[in-house]
Amino acid sequence: MTWSPSAEVVCDYLRHHKRSFASALFWWGLYILVPMQVPVITGAVVDGLSGNDVAIFGLTDVAPDVSTVIVAAVGGLLVVAILYAISSYARLMSAARLSRNFVFDLRRRIIQHTSRLSIDQHRQYGAAELLERTLTDTRGMRRFLDRVVIQATANVLRLGYPIVMLLVLDWLLALVALSVLLPQWLTQRYLQKRLHRAADRRRTSQSQLTNVVKETLDGIETIKSIDANTSAVDAIQPCAEQLEKDELHANQFTALLSANVWLMTSVGVALVWGLGALRVHHQQMTLGELVAFAGFAAFAYQPFRQFSTIVSTYRQGLVSLDRIAQLLQVEPAIADTKNAKPLQIESGRIEFRDVDFAAGEVQILKQINLCFPARSLTAIVGKSGSGKSSLLRLIPRLYDVQQGAVLVDGQPLPGATLDSVRSQIALVTQEPIVFSGTILDNIRLGRPEATSEEIERACVAAGALLFISRLEKGFETRIGVAGDRLSGGQIQRLAIARALLNSPQILLLDEPTSALDNESEMALVRKLLRLRREMTIIVVAHRPLAACLADQIVVMQEGRVADIGDHEELLASSSVYRDLFSPKEFAHVGVA
The model's pLDDT over 19-58, given as tens digits with 9 standing for 90+, comes to: 888 888 899 889 989 998 888 888 878 877 776 666 554 4
Sheet architecture: strand order including 350-359:
362-372, 350-359, 403-408, 411-412
> Which pLDDT does position 64 carry in this prediction?
57
The string of pLDDT tens digits covering residues 395-407 is 999 888 989 999 9
Instruction: Assess contact for 444 and 433: CB atoms under 8 A.
Output: no
Residue 503's nearest CA partner among 454, 550, 453, 468 is 454
pLDDT at 579 over 60: yes
> Which pLDDT does position 592 carry in this prediction?
43
Distance, in Å, from the CA atom of 443 to the CA atom of 451, rounded to the nearest integer, reads 11
> Which pLDDT does position 1 carry in this prediction?
45
pLDDT at 90 over 90: yes
> Which pLDDT does position 588 carry in this prediction?
57
Residue 293 phi/psi, 5° resolution?
-65, -45
Distance, in Å, from the CA atom of 508 to the CA atom of 525, rounded to the nearest integer, reads 13
CATH 3.40.50.1370 fits 350-588, yes or no: no
pLDDT at 4 over 70: no
> Which pLDDT does position 241 carry in this prediction?
82
> Which pLDDT does position 536 carry in this prediction?
93
pLDDT at 420 over 50: yes
Domain boundaries defined on the chain: 5-329, 350-588
Candidates 1.10.357.10, 1.10.238.10, 1.20.810.10, 1.20.1560.10; CATH matching 5-329: 1.20.1560.10
pLDDT at 106 over 90: no
> Which pLDDT does position 417 carry in this prediction?
92
The string of pLDDT tens digits covering residues 154-202 is 778 888 898 898 888 888 888 888 888 778 778 877 877 787 788 878 8
Q: What is the residue-averaged pLDDT of the chain? A: 83
- Residue 238: pLDDT band (50, 70, 90) is confident
pLDDT at 382 over 60: yes
pLDDT at 7 over 80: no
Which has the higher per-residue pLDDT, 239 or 261?
239
> Which pLDDT does position 58 carry in this prediction?
46
Amino acid identity of residue 256, one-letter, is L
Which has the higher per-residue pLDDT, 526 or 304?
526
Helix, coil or strand: residue 61: strand
Q: DSSP for 201-216, please give it.
A: HHHHHHHHHHHHHHHH
Amino acid identity of residue 240, one-letter, is A
Distance, in Å, from the CA atom of 52 to the CA atom of 64, rounded to the nearest integer, reads 7
pTM for the whole structure: 0.67
Q: How many CB atoms lie within 10 A of CB 476?
A: 11
Which has the higher per-residue pLDDT, 531 or 147?
531
Instruction: Assess contact for 518 and 587: CB atoms under 8 A.
Output: no
Which has the higher per-residue pLDDT, 363 or 265?
363
**3-state SS of the chain: helix, strand, coil percent to 5?**
65, 10, 20
Which has the higher per-residue pLDDT, 475 or 227?
475
> Which pLDDT does position 59 carry in this prediction?
42
Quickly list H helices, 340-398: 388-393
Residue 416's nearest CA partner among 404, 429, 405 is 405
Q: DSSP for 138-181, please give it.
A: HHHHHHIIIIIIIHHHHHHHHHHHHHHHHHHH-HHHHHHHHTTH
Residue 477's nearest CA partner among 515, 520, 502, 443 is 443
The string of pLDDT tens digits covering residues 60-82 is 455 556 777 778 778 888 999 99
